Amino acid sequence: QQQVKQSPQSLIVQKGGISIINCAYENTAFDYFPWYQQFPGKGPALLIAIRPDVSEKKEGRFTISFNKSAKQFSLHIMDSQPGDSATYFCAASNTGNQFYFGTGTSLTVIP
Amino acid sequence: GAVVSQHPSRVICKSGTSVKIECRSLDFQATTMFWYRQFPKQSLMLMATSNEGSKATYEQGVEKDKFLINHASLTLSTLTVTSAHPEDSSFYICSASGIWVGRGYTFGSGTRLTVV
């Protein structure tokens, strides 16, 4: 059973455009929602994270939007660059620090 | 801070042999370490969770006798794939969390295991 559902599976965006990746969860016990960026052959790296008491968090070109009532959260990458081409995973965890990952989104930013 | 080093990055072994993968937290004490397996273009699948000094907790469907996990210290955990077979070929990733690291996991750089 997939605890965190992620879409789309793949995404192609023009340089300078906005990349949007969506995730949804069911377990209301989750209280921490990170996004990870993974390049081929490398381990995932924490990009940005949010807690459910805020609706939005922005760090540079990356923004998480969080909708607690809908149990959805999304990653927005503004001014997307070819260097952003990677696989992105959303995740959710509970206070026990058990993490559940989405299925990943392969982002390609074309020049 | 919060660096996790994983070694080796790539390993090729013959079918039937065992392979050990190390995961070290370099600048923090990792009270909990996690081992994941990732198939090409797929998500991370949690294999097991280990707390320092305790036996690892394996996820359903993961053979504990095949994937031996040791977490003998607060900075080192090892995964040993015993009697490896070609179907064990995969990308193995460790991650670590500690009291002072915050909620996010810190991941190692992964190990590409190929069993021939």
Mean pLDDT for B77-91 is 96
How far is it, in rounded angstroms, from Cα B105 to Cα B116? 32
Task: Select the residue of A32, A42, A101 nearest B44 (Cβ to Cβ).
Answer: A101
Number of residues in chain B = 116
Q: Which pLDDT does position B39 carry in this prediction?
A: 87
Q: What's the pLDDT score for residue B76?
A: 92
Q: What is the pLDDT of residues A16-57, one digit of tens each?
A: 999 999 999 999 999 999 999 999 888 888 899 999 999 999
Please state, in angstroms and rounded to a whole number, the distance separating the CA atoms of residues A87 and A110.
15
**Gap between the Cα atoms of A34 and A91, Å rounded:** 5
User: What's the average model confidence in pLDDT over B81-98?
Assistant: 93
At A55-69, the pLDDT tens digits run 999 999 999 999 999
Chain A residues near residue B90 by CB distance under 8 angstroms: none
- Does B90 score more than 90 pLDDT? yes
The rounded percent of chain A whose pLDDT value lies above 90 is 82
Residue at token pair 């690892």: B56
Rounded CA-CA distance B77/A19 in Å is 37
Residue B101: pLDDT band (50, 70, 90) is low
Q: In this structure, which amino acid lies at residue A44?
A: P
How many angstroms away from the CA of B16 is the closest CA of chain A? 25
Mean pLDDT along residues B45-72: 91
Residue A96: pLDDT band (50, 70, 90) is low
Is a pLDDT exceeding 70 seen at residue A1? Answer: no
A41 contacts B46? CB cut-off 8 A: no
**Chain B residues within 8 angstroms (CB to CB) of chain A:** 4, 6, 32, 34, 41-44, 46, 49, 91, 93, 95, 97, 103-110, 112
The confidence score (pLDDT) of residue A70 equals 96
> What are the backbone dihedrals phi and psi of residue A27, each rounded to the nearest 5 degrees, phi first?
-75, 110
